[in-house]
Amino acid sequence: MIPPRVLTALPVYNEVAYVNGVLDEVLRYCRDVLVVDDGSTDGTSALLDARNDVRIVRHERNQGYGAGLRSAFDYATRLEYEILVTIDCDGQHQPRRIPEFVAACTPDVDIVSGSRYLQVFDGDSAPPADRRKINAQITDQINRRLGLELTDAFCGFKAYRVAALECFDIRETGYAMPLELWVQAAHAQLRIVELPVPLIYLDEKRSFGGSLDDAQTRLRYYHEVIDRCLAALPAQPCGKGR
């Protein structure tokens, strides 16, 4: 059997402390690696320029986490990859699990999504209380309103069948992008499985930025995004994931 063409993509913004170490590890498990540098200003871009073993897409200014993933989707589709793996560059995901995600992304699966709450791993971090609470509330709402059975609505470690990416029209450029993705995935009846991943927080003080650092503001924003994305759905799903 011919192995699928796989691309691993990392949205990156100001990760000078982690980027080289994470990329070195990712390259052990995937030959084709894309970095979407989302307007970094801390020296990350210079570190990337010094490498010749990854592909780089640059945003001239910071556009947001969702915009970085949207660029990765476009790149994987344009270059006709079969599977796209996405992984964060802050050291909270383990690149050695990339082959597990690729193996789980069979022809009968459109999205393999990591879950930090499916299984307890030795050494798991204790998540900041407000983040765990909000994740649980939003995951429950997503499941009730969309008929899904997720345990972690926000994990960035995923594998996508690239053919299914045509079902997405991503407009949310920030941290709420996964909610738009789930709304559109459910509408298109994409086939989703979850894989357990360790719960790792290396920097619990990491900021969402601006008003979203307030937990209640963030929760209201997430509810508004779900409502807005549901209202924007087309009458007919794309049906291309099946």
17 Cβ neighbours under 8 A, 6+ residues apart: none
239, part of any domain:
no
Cβ–Cβ < 8 Å for 179, 172? yes
1, part of any domain:
no
> How large a percentage of the chain has pLDDT more than 70?
91
42, part of any domain:
yes
CATH number for the domain that contains residue 75: 3.90.550.10
77, part of any domain:
yes
Q: Give whole-number Cα distances, 89 to 23, 147, 179, 188, in Å.
A: 8, 31, 20, 29
Cβ–Cβ < 8 Å for 86, 157? yes
Expressed as residue numbers, the domain containing 217 is 6-231
Q: What confidence score (pLDDT) does residue 91 get?
A: 81
32 Cβ neighbours under 8 A, 6+ residues apart: 5, 6, 7, 8, 55, 81
Q: What are 166-211's pLDDT values in tens digits?
A: 999 999 999 999 999 999 999 999 999 999 999 887 655 555 555 5
Exposed, middle or buried: residue 222 (CB in 10 Å: 0-12, 13-18, 19+)? Answer: buried
β-strands 111-115, 192-196: how paired?
parallel
Q: What confidence score (pLDDT) does residue 120 get?
A: 83
150, part of any domain:
yes
| C-alpha–C-alpha distance, residues 64 and 73, integer Å | 15
**Across 81-100, average pLDDT:** 94
102, part of any domain:
yes
- Strand ranges (E), 39-78: 55-59
Q: Is pTM beyond 0.75 here?
A: yes
**Across 122-137, average pLDDT:** 80
Cβ–Cβ < 8 Å for 50, 69? no
Exposed, middle or buried: residue 107 (CB in 10 Å: 0-12, 13-18, 19+)? Answer: exposed
Averaged confidence pLDDT in the chain: 91
Q: What confidence score (pLDDT) does residue 242 get?
A: 45
| C-alpha–C-alpha distance, residues 150 and 142, integer Å | 8
**The total number of structural domains that make up the chain:** 1
Cα-to-chain-centroid distance, residue 190: 16
83, part of any domain:
yes
